[in-house]
Amino acid sequence: MTDDPIRPRPTDHAFLGDLRGGSHEATYSGALSFMRRRFSRDIDGVDVVIWGVPFDAATSNRPGTRFGPQALRRASAIFDGDPQFPSGLDPFDALAVVDWGDCSFDYRHLDQVPGLIEAQAVDILAAGAHLITLGGDHSITLPLLRAHASLHGPLALVQFDAHQDTWEGDGGQSHGAFVTQAESEGLIDTARSIQIGIRTVAPDDFGIEIVDAYEAHGLGPSGIAARVRARTGGVPTYLSFDIDALDPAFAPGTGTPVAGGMTSIDALIALWSLRDLDWRGMDIVEVSPPYDHADITAIAGSTIVQHYLQILAEKAR
């Protein structure tokens, strides 16, 4: 077919589009890859890979985060094709980005899941791509840290969360113990790690700096950013954003909601203020669509990833 405006060329950017540049589909049509990126497992020459880990068998309260990657992709469709706020850039002018699809595993053999997450993440990182992961419950961060630490060494962890996730770790799968296990395996540099938005009590902090929810509210986004920057000190850093860091008013769709959290705007400004950090990877976890309303939580989560992509795009320029 021709480019006749009455009979436009058939396309779906998720399958036929270029690695760079935006799509031209209506936001409500086509396949829902993240921000309309091409679905591909050919990552030769790719700068950033976005993939999903639809796993929630390690949750301790309400399940449903297995549907998180779907919801985040759906909410992200509205972003594509326009300059992005606040950078004013189209990140795909600077970055070649693909949606890798989802992690492959057999739900009948849950004990194999962490190893499969790690192995697939290692393959992506070995190709030289920056990895952004859509969860899934917070247990998936442990194998992701294993994969990233195998390449970069121990990482500073910047964790936005209502929970410390330092409950007893015995090698099993729990979304409330990934930090415990990561510390014991030497995957994170606890002297350079920081948790923001905490408003529950856990057995240990392993020397990780905590900016609790009340303190975060008093500091504001610029104060939070200053604390994170001072703590990480310019070393390679991994971002893990648990959507329950936000107050349930801004993120009702999560498994373990806790009142008194951050607003969406404060979290986004804080992240945007940290463009100078040496980011090596990130995940967004605990988006649980069965408890969401009008995609409020998915919109917040996809916007966090959109901001992170803009940070990478600014660095690439």
Residues making up the binding site for Mn(2+): 138, 161, 163, 165, 242, 244
Place of tokens 């829902």: 32
Separation CA 160–CA 264 (nearest Å): 12
The one-letter code for the residue type at 199 is R
User: How many Cβ atoms are within 10 Å of 209's Cβ, its own excluded?
Assistant: 17
Which of 175, 165, 170, 196 shows the shortest CA–CA distance to 53? 175
Which of 215, 234, 236, 237 shows the shortest CA–CA distance to 224? 215
225 within 8 A of 273, measured Cβ to Cβ: yes
* Residue 204: partners with Cβ closer than 8 Å, 6 or more residues away: 166, 180
Separation CA 165–CA 139 (nearest Å): 9
Let me know how many helices (H) and strands (E) the chain has, helices first: 9, 9
Separation CA 86–CA 198 (nearest Å): 27
Which of 78, 123, 277, 303 shows the shortest CA–CA distance to 193? 277
Q: Give the DSSP H/E element, type plus range, for residue 304.
A: helix 296-316
CA 106 to chain centre: 23
Cα atoms in the Cβ-side hemisphere of radius 13 Å centred on 208: 30
Annotation: binding site: 138, 161, 163, 165, 242, 244
155: DSSP letter: B
27 within 8 A of 76, measured Cβ to Cβ: no
Which of 272, 295, 296, 302 shows the shortest CA–CA distance to 50? 302
